[in-house]
Chain A
Amino acid sequence: AQRVTQPEKLLSVFKGAPVELKCNYSYSGSPELFWYVQYSRQRLQLLLRHISRESIKGFTADLNKGETSFHLKKPFAQEEDSAMYYCALGRYNNNDMRFGAGTRLTVKP
């Protein structure tokens, strides 16, 4: 079955430290992967998607098909990065987006 796993429910780092939020997926076809973020009292919003290969707010994520991973990374975390992060899997010709359980990132001053 297609599944997204985010092994860490909670992640806490100090400001300026590197951060990596892990995401693993199970899908035999070509995955379409996204990271969504939910800041306090805001709605869920797209952070980045693998096909764009972009850096948003200093975050990057590389699709590793061999390891079936799409980890989110930032070299220097900021306090405003504190939020809930969800990894999501879309599949061609499918209608349902699969979300991981989410990781709550706290960046301490």
Chain B
Amino acid sequence: GAGVSQSPRYKVAKRGQDVALRCDPISGHVSLFWYQQALGQGPEFLTYFQNEAQLDKSGLPSDRFFAERPEGSVSTLKIQRTQQEDSAVYLCASSLAYGAGSNQPQHFGDGTRLSIL
């Protein structure tokens, strides 16, 4: 594809429901990142995959958040028992390089806007 693709673009869920957000990175990109962006804030790191390995999940705010990338390509971010504070835009980014500290740019998707009622 031409870029990072995320779906759905918008998701509305009731408090307590589980949601799953999908990210399809640029083909061949080793690294995949998830970010959470609250209104009026910059993106905040959630988790990082290098191929299929989740090497860093230090940014996940609670054990209700779970991410996977089983075949080293598409990734899913799952949030269980959603709370109102989970409302945010969830961004996915991919990169050719390993990690975030190699001076290589990250390519972002359009994000999923999650609203918890």
Interface residues of A (CB under 8 A from B): 4, 6, 9, 32, 34, 36, 43-46, 49, 51, 86, 88, 90-102
A23 to chain B, nearest CB (A): 11
Contact partner of B101 (CB less than 8 A), chosen from A4, A32, A102, is: A32
Interchain CB contact under 8 A, B56 and A96: yes
Interchain CB contact under 8 A, A49 and B108: no
Total B residues in contact with A, Cβ cutoff 8 Å:
28
Query: Given that A43-B109, A43-B111, A44-B91 are known contacts, is A98 also in contact with B45, CB under 8 Å in the complex?
Result: yes
Decide yes or no whether B62 CB sits under 8 A from chain A.
Answer: no
Q: Could you tell me the distance between the alpha carbons of A95 and B102 in the complex, rounded to whole angstroms?
A: 10
Which stretch of B21-29, B35-43, B79-87 is in the interface?
A: B35-43
Interchain CB contact under 8 A, A91 and B43: no
Q: How many residue pairs bridge A and B at CB < 8 Å?
A: 72
Decide yes or no whether B105 CB sits under 8 A from chain A.
Answer: yes
Interchain CB contact under 8 A, B100 and A95: yes
For A36, A43, A93, the residue with the greatest tally of chain B CB atoms inside 10 Å of its CB is: A43
Closest A residue to B45 using CB positions: A96
Q: Could you tell me the distance between the alpha carbons of A86 and B56 in the complex, rounded to whole angstroms?
A: 23
Interchain CB contact under 8 A, B109 and A97: no
Interchain CB contact under 8 A, B101 and A92: yes
Interchain CB contact under 8 A, A93 and B103: no
Q: Could you tell me the distance between the alpha carbons of A108 and B108 in the complex, rounded to whole angstroms?
A: 28
Interchain CB contact under 8 A, A49 and B101: no
B88 to chain A, nearest CB (A): 14
Interchain CB contact under 8 A, B42 and A102: yes
Q: Could you tell me the distance between the alpha carbons of A99 and B33 in the complex, rounded to whole angstroms?
A: 13
Interchain CB contact under 8 A, B58 and A96: yes
Residues 87-117 of chain B: 1 if any A CB is under 8 Å from the residue's CB, otherwise 0? 0000100000001111101111111000000
